[in-house]
Amino acid sequence: MAESGNGKPKTELLDELEKGPWPSFVKEIKAASAGNDACDDLLGQLELSYEERRGHWKHGGIVGVLGYGGGVIGRYSDVPEKFPKVAHFHTMRVNHPAGWFYTSEALRTICDIWERHGSGLTNMHGSTGDIILLGTTTEHLEPAFQELTHAGFDLGGSGSAVRTPNCCVGMARCEWACFDSMKLCYELTQHYQDELHRPAFPYKFKFKFSACPNDCVASIARADMSVIGTWKDDIQVDEAEVANYAAAGFDIQKDVCELCPSKAVSWDGKKLDILNSECVHCMHCINVMPKALRPGKERGAVILIGSKAPIMQGALLSSVLVPFVPAEELLDTLKELVTRIWDFWDEYGTNRERIGELIQRVGLPAFLDGIGLDPAPEMVSAPRDNPFIFFQTKEEES
Amino acid sequence: MSTTPIMPKRLTDVGPPHYEKYLHPMAKANYGKWKYHESLAPGVLCHVGESGDRLYTVRAGTARLMSVQSIRKIAALADKYCGGYLRFTSRNNIEFLLTDAANIEPLKAELLQIGYPVGGTKNSISSIVHTQGWLHCHSAATDASGIVKAVMDPLYERFTHQNLPGKLRIALACCVNMCGAVHCSDIAILGIHRTPPHVHKDVLTKQCEIPTLISSCPTGAIRAVPGAAKDVEVIDEQCMYCGNCYTVCPAMEMNNPDNDGLSIWVGGKVSNARTAPAFSKLAVPFLPNNPPRWPEVVEAVVKIVDVYAAHARKYERMGEWIERVGWPRFFQLTGFEFTRHHIDDFKHAGLTYARSTHIRY
């Protein structure tokens, strides 16, 4: 390997990314190299990628810890002769605490374990939510895992399994939480430990819990099962605070009424009037007048299904499956619904077919029949506009 | 790497730690009983409980890739100012949770001193959600951290100030697998391959299951070579370079330095505020991989941000603004060329063809 003279690899291109005001990942890798020289080879290999404009990691291999089928992503260099210290450079996914809350003590515990058993590099956090511990060798996986579980942490999901469920900050620090997203996320994660650690599905299955329609964890775009908080009754209005907003020069007509998607809010200069029966619960008025408006008191969530990134048949957003579930019934409803959905997916899903793509393939009506849910107008943006109805499928049964 | 302490008993399936262990005492006391919040300054929030308690949040951007050395520095700051309590956000920011407003400015000063920008709240650009890239992924068409750094340097003040019309969320994924699920972002930077897989026959015979490989192709572009025991061929014109075949079979190499690169997408969102969640749409079909600073990508993203900042109305997200003024205007204002690649020809393509005479002249 080309060396700069002090035993460190030459990193002329990467050094450029130490400049500038935004935090530099190159500085992070160099900092970690003080504790682990694999980081030098990591920089060396990345510099080579920058020079050649191509990646140098081999296709993942099957490595892991005893009894689990996931949680570790095997990673091997395709130029191990140049960079032997990253010949094996596996990733461990560690299930983060719900809401990503930590104490300094908990962070230091993870750091100590990862310094003993890995490169000292992390992602805080990965895209699905896990703590990502980047770079170790096969023989360190099991010891690192045991230290993690004894410290109260466990691996996250990978492969065709339940992926680490994820949620927004919810009731811990947000006035808009319509259900307890952290509690639900934690309880379902514990409930599905077997499905999370031992892949047995056609493909991955993700849960994301956002406690209001602002959807801070992108549940509607990134979860096979999206749970998004909402409310059924009237928006709570503090009239004195509405008056304060107006008095402070906030333009309620322009910034609230005219931007309401269903034109359900009106303002006569004195009183804010909300036609709650036409409110679509978009959150705009509440977002811009947080002191004056709050979600109603009858709270719960919408359950939606099927979102995913483009592989294989194109990206999907989740669509409505259950228009409203009261907050206190969410845990039981989800467990029951998920059992039926997984049964259907096991039966009809093909290899690497996400639940959303299966629904696209067989059609939502057949999926609803399969899981025993009645159709509801909230499930569609409009009824069908073509006349090609398969009448016989449902009629034969009745 | 030193020796492991002796473990008394092997533990598995313990699941994540219970969040209550790490909750700030004030978050615990006001759990589910928060009343409202205010934005005190860029990167500084104050949540007020029904109890009257005030919990302050100071948000700082990170590189996402963090060394244990840096995490310990962050932990020390949390000890000094927050009783040790902190959290991370869904966009890889750190949030320090404070009860004493007098600690806000000293904490901000220390954060800036060790290189962490404070901001990312309200109408700013928050940290760029991104993937591993060449740093740690086998299927990456580009790097991730490098482009993020290159893009955020000139946009630094858009993070530390709240002067955009609405919030602006940027995401980067280094291939169409989209671990960074960029498909619903105001601006998405997406690594793409543009050449069909190069089949390594030696690897194919040793490591791949042919039927699985053939069925992995969403467009049916991979077929068995008639008469050959274990061989496949790719129908080039049917390939859309998704790399799904490579994921199931390492013989199908996708990397190609000259043809791999970036595409830019705009106007997606996940929030339900005002308009429904939406996918990002194609703005620029291809830009080259040009490390270490990807100037073509940086220029395109900064251009989009500037045009949006100059033309959108208050609260309008990127997609809402474009929807109002129309796509022709977007291409005119940004100067990006509209090409045949912008017109969908995949599934449900017709849904994006203009089916009215609503045209702005």
pLDDT digits (tens, 9 = 90+) for B57-109: 999 999 999 999 999 999 999 999 999 999 999 999 999 999 999 999 999 99
- Helix (H, G, I), strand (E, B), or coil: what is residue B137? coil
pLDDT number for residue B2? 54
Q: Could you report the per-residue pLDDT of A290-320, keeping only the tens digit for each?
A: 999 999 999 999 999 999 998 888 899 999 9
Distance from C-alpha of B242 to C-alpha of B45, rounded to nearest angstrom: 41
Which residues 298-327 in chain A show a CB within 8 A of chain B?
309-315, 317
**Residue A397, pLDDT score:** 52
Backbone angles phi, psi at A109, to 5 degrees: -60, -45
Q: State the DSSP code for B45.
A: E
Residue that the structure tokens 């003040």 belong to: B157
Helix ranges restricted to H, B272-326? 295-311, 318-325
Contact criterion met (CB below 8 Å) for A141 and A92: yes
Cα separation, B161 vs B328, in Å, equals 30
Token pair for B24: 């700030």
3-state secondary structure B139-182: CCCCCCHHHHHHHHCCCHHHHHCCCCCCCECEEEECCCCCCCCH
Q: Element (H or E) spanning B96, and its range?
A: strand B94-98
Query: Residue A1 pLDDT > 80, yes or no?
Result: no
- Å from A129 to nearest chain B CA? 7
DSSP classification of residue B136:
T
Give whole-number Cα distances, A184 to A158, A171, A332, B361, in Å. Answer: 21, 11, 10, 51
What is d(CA A86, CA A272) in angstroms, rounded to the nearest whole number?
63
User: Which residue type is seen at B174?
Assistant: C
Q: Taking a contact as any Cβ pair under 8 Å apart, which residues of chain A between 137 and 196 contact chain B?
A: 140, 143, 146-147, 149-150, 152-154, 166, 168-169, 171-175, 177, 180, 182, 186, 189-190, 193-194
| Chain B residues whose beta carbon lies within 8 Å of the beta carbon of residue A219 | 270
Which residues on A lie below 8 Å from B94 (Cβ)?
A: 124
**Contact assignment for A215 to B270 by CB distance below 8 Å:** yes
**Token couple for B329:** 């205007």
Going residue by residue through chain B (361 aa), what tens digit of pLDDT does each one get?
556 666 679 999 999 999 999 999 999 999 999 999 999 999 999 999 999 999 999 999 999 999 999 999 999 999 999 999 999 999 999 999 999 999 999 999 999 999 999 999 999 999 999 999 999 999 999 999 999 999 999 999 999 999 999 999 999 999 998 887 799 999 999 999 999 999 999 999 999 999 999 999 999 999 999 888 889 999 999 999 999 899 889 999 999 999 999 999 999 999 999 999 999 999 999 999 999 999 999 999 999 999 999 999 999 999 999 999 999 999 999 999 999 999 999 877 778 888 888 888 8
- Tell me the pLDDT tens digit for each residue of B142-175: 999 999 999 999 999 999 999 999 999 999 999 9
The reply to whether residue A175 touches residue B62, judged by beta carbons under 8 angstroms, is no
Instruction: Quote the CA–CA distance of B222 and B216 in Å, as a whole number.
Output: 9
Q: What is the pLDDT of residue B222?
A: 96
Contacting residues of A for B72, CB less than 8 Å apart: 107-108, 111
A60 touches chain B (CB under 8 A): yes
Task: Work out the percent of chain A whose per-residue pLDDT is above 90.
Answer: 91
SS3 at position B9 = coil
Residues 6+ apart with CB under 8 A from A332: none
pTM: predicted TM-score of the whole model, two decimal places: 0.96
Give the number of A-B residue pairs with CB atoms closer than 8 Å: 390
B336–chain A nearest CA distance, Å: 24
Indicate the residue of A99, A108, A283 with minimum beta-carbon distance to B19: A99
Residue of B nearest to A45 (CA): B135
- Alpha carbon of A397: minimum distance to chain B alpha carbons (Å): 31
Question: Cβ-count burial of B35 within 10 angstroms (0-12 exposed, 13-18 middle, 19+ buried)?
Answer: middle
The model's confidence at residue A201, banded by pLDDT at 50, 70 and 90, is: very high
Q: How far apart are CA B110 and CA A121, in angstroms?
A: 23
Statement: residue A6 has pLDDT above 80: no
Q: CA angle at residue B287 from B283 to B291, to 5 degrees? A: 135
> In Å, what is the CA distance from A341 to each residue of A109, A219, A359?
38, 18, 11
Q: Do A31 and B67 touch (CB under 8 A)?
A: yes
A336 or A395, higher pLDDT? A336
Who among A103, A128, A312 is closest to B242 (CB)?
A312
What φ, ψ does residue B311 adopt, rounded to 5°?
-115, -25
Question: How much is the pLDDT for A396?
Answer: 52
- pLDDT tens digits along A45-82: 999 999 999 999 997 678 999 999 999 999 999 999 99
Report the complex ipTM.
0.96
Q: Please check whether residue B2 is in contact with residue B18, taking contact to mean a CB–CB distance below 8 angstroms.
A: no
- Which residues from chain A sit within 8 angstroms of residue B212, using beta carbons? 351
Percent of chain B with pLDDT over 90: 88
The pLDDT of residue A393 is 63
Distance CA B222, CA B220 (A): 6
Identify the helix (H) or strand (E) that includes residue A272.
Answer: strand A272-274
Mutual orientation of helices B295-311 and B318-325 as an angle, nearest 10°? 70
> What are the CB-based long-range contacts (under 8 Å, 24+) for A285-290?
A285/A235, A285/A256, A285/A260, A286/A176, A286/A235, A287/A214, A287/B273, A288/A255, A288/A256, A288/B315, A289/A241, A289/A242, A289/A245, A289/A250, A289/A252, A289/A256, A290/A175, A290/B36, A290/B37, A290/B38
| Size of chain A, expressed as the number of residues it contains | 398
Contact of B240 with chain A, judged by CB distance below 8 Å, is answered with no
CB atoms B273 and A67 under 8 Å = no
DSSP code per residue over A221-269: HH-SEEEEEEESSPPEE-HHHHHHHHHTT--HHHHTGGG-TT--EEE-S
State which residue of chain A sits closest to B85, comparing Cα positions: A103
Closest-CA residue of A relative to B78 is A104
- Smallest CA–CA distance, residue B228 to chain A, in Å, is 25
Asked if B349 reaches chain A (Cβ–Cβ under 8 Å), the answer is: no
How far apart are alpha carbons A349 and B116 in whole angstroms? 46
Quickly tell me which residue has 């500085």 as its tokens: A27
Query: From CA B38, how far away is CA A289, in angstroms rounded?
Result: 10
- The SS3 of residue B62 is coil
- Whether A85 and chain B come into contact, CB under 8 Å, resolves to no
Tell me, yes or no, if B10 comes closer than 8 A to chain A by beta carbon: yes
Mutate one of A28, A43, A304 to test the B interface: name it (highest B CB count within 10 A): A28
Closest alpha carbon within chain A to B173: A127
**Three-state secondary-structure class, residue B343:** coil
Residue contact B90–A111, C-beta within 8 A: no
pLDDT higher than 50, residue A398: no
Rounded to whole angstroms, what are the CA distances from B344 to A71, A314, A360, B2, B211? 37, 12, 19, 55, 30
Instruction: Identify the three-state secondary structure at position B193.
Output: coil
Q: Which residues contact A4 (CB under 8 A, 6 or more apart)?
A: A10, A11
Residue B55 CA to residue B57 CA, distance in Å, equals: 7
pLDDT tens per residue across span A361-395: 999 999 999 999 999 999 999 999 999 998 876 55
Q: Is the dihedral of CA B88, B94, B96, B97 positive or negative?
A: negative
Q: Strand pairing of A236-237 and A293-294?
A: antiparallel
